């Protein structure tokens, strides 16, 4: 198939989408501020800083997609005057605003923690009275990897929370959910409406950034069909095409939705080696109008992010069953530089591999001894 897909963004997600597109004879172009981005080796990068950049980008491809949910809606509106984009604008606009997102979850009967809109110090005080403490105060728009959030545990912190986040004006206060773990469900919907889902991932974070994911999520057989039902409701309601991710909390009362991401997702990187067809290939297939591939798990998998500093490549590749993916990014504290996929044959080998990996990663690897696959 001779087709070109234009991608808003040129980071590692765009890079991996383009890598999946090449075997299908599909080319990608990228709209990115920096022409020296992770995706630069995979296709033409058109600068979003250029005066005619958007016009050139629109002319560069047949159909379009994106790698981050903060893609400007104004750019999407200009694009859709002449070309198609997947996922649809409504999904993007909803994911960019946590209040709209929670309202959509409510509409589709997808459980969420109690929440209130906040736009003043008075409304924050009212939300504290109504929801109780602790609460998580978040900016309604923007914010990622733990940014744009404040955990409010006492009334003494109200003024501080408002001082830190109040300038954003549009905030959301959410009741603090007591959860045992966080999981995510990733699914893909084709142009013909077919839906396929991958196994649940159990996600672990370090300083607000995803540290590692375990797939299939341990002890989650009863959660899988519930999560599939929730994400299928979203996909069909939005008339979605492409990959969608839904992050969920596991609570005593069942699954609570946290947020959705209208794109391929960090917790799905395991699928490159661990699934018959990866999230990246299936997203490309969907956007290009091709049949979807199998999402079956090849082997239980652990995906570990490389954050801040690079390990020695030879040390990682010396580990049995380890697959290394580097993103061509410079070292910086808190920055995702790559990921490692481990595909152990059993629990014993997993623990051995994790101990070995912990010794060679520059950043601490917070894996517990009782983790299971």
Residues in the annotated binding site = 98, 138, 143-149, 174-177, 182, 205, 258-259
Taking Cα atoms as reference points, which of 232, 128, 108, 240 lies closest to residue 173? 128
**Ramachandran sector of residue 319 (left: φ over 0; alpha: ψ -120 to 50; beta: rest):** beta
CB 327 within 8 Å of CB 336: yes
Helix (H) or strand (E) holding 259: strand 254-261
Residue 359's contacts (CB-CB under 8 Å, 6 or more residues apart) are none
CB 279 within 8 Å of CB 265: yes
Q: How far apart are CA 111 and CA 107, in angstroms?
A: 10
Q: Tell me the torsion sign for CA atoms 325, 329, 330, 333.
A: negative
Point out the annotated binding site for ATP.
98, 138, 143-149, 174-177, 182, 205, 258-259
Residue 3's contacts (CB-CB under 8 Å, 6 or more residues apart) are 26, 27, 62, 63, 288
**HEC profile of 311-344:** CCHHHHHCCCCEEEEECCCCCCCCCEEEEEEECC
Taking Cα atoms as reference points, which of 220, 221, 203, 235 lies closest to residue 110? 235
Residue 258's contacts (CB-CB under 8 Å, 6 or more residues apart) are 182, 247, 248, 249
Taking Cα atoms as reference points, which of 70, 86, 79 lies closest to residue 239? 86
Residue 303's contacts (CB-CB under 8 Å, 6 or more residues apart) are 201, 212, 213, 215, 267, 269, 270, 274, 339, 340, 341, 342
CB 76 within 8 Å of CB 223: no
Q: How far apart are CA 131 and CA 172, in angstroms?
A: 12
SS3 346: coil
SS3 310: coil
């Amino acid at each position: 198939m001779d087709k070109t897909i234009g991608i808003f963004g040129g980071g590692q997600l765009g890079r991996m989408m383009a890598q999946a597109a090449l075997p299908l004879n599909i080319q990608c172009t990228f709209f990115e501020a920096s022409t020296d981005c992770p995706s630069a080796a995979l296709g033409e990068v058109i600068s979003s800083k250029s005066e005619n950049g958007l016009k050139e980008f629109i002319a560069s491809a047949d159909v379009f997609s994106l790698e981050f949910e903060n893609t400007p809606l104004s750019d999407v509106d200009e694009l859709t005057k002449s070309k198609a984009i997947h996922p649809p604008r409504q999904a993007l606009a909803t994911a960019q605003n946590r209040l709209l997102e929670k309202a959509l979850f409510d509409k589709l009967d997808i459980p969420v923690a109690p929440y209130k809109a906040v736009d003043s110090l008075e409304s924050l005080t009212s939300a504290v009275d109504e929801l109780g403490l602790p609460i998580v105060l978040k900016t309604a728009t923007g914010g990622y990897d733990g940014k744009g959030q404040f955990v409010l545990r006492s009334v003494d912190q109200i003024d501080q929370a408002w001082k830190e986040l109040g300038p954003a004006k549009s905030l959301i206060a959410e009741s603090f959910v007591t959860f045992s773990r966080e999981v995510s469900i990733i699914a893909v919907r084709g142009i013909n409406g077919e839906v396929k889902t991958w196994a649940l991932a159990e996600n672990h974070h370090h300083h607000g950034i995803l540290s590692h994911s375990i797939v299939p999520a341990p002890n989650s057989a009863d959660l899988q069909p519930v999560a599939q039902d929730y994400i299928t409701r979203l996909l069909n309601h939005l008339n979605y095409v492409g990959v969608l991710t839904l992050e969920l909390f596991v609570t005593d009362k069942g699954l609570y939705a946290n947020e959705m991401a209208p794109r391929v997702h960090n917790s799905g990187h395991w699928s490159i080696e661990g699934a018959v067809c990866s999230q990246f290939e299936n997203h490309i297939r969907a956007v290009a109008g091709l049949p979807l591939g199998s999402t079956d798990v090849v082997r239980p998998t652990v995906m570990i992010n490389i954050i801040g500093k690079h390990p020695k490549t030879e040390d990682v590749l010396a580990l049995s069953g380890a697959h290394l993916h580097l993103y061509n990014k410079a070292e910086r504290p808190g920055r995702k530089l790559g990921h490692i996929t481990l595909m152990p044959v059993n629990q014993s080998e997993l623990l051995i591999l994790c101990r070995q990996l912990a010794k060679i990663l520059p950043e601490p690897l917070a894996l517990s001894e009782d983790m299971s696959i």
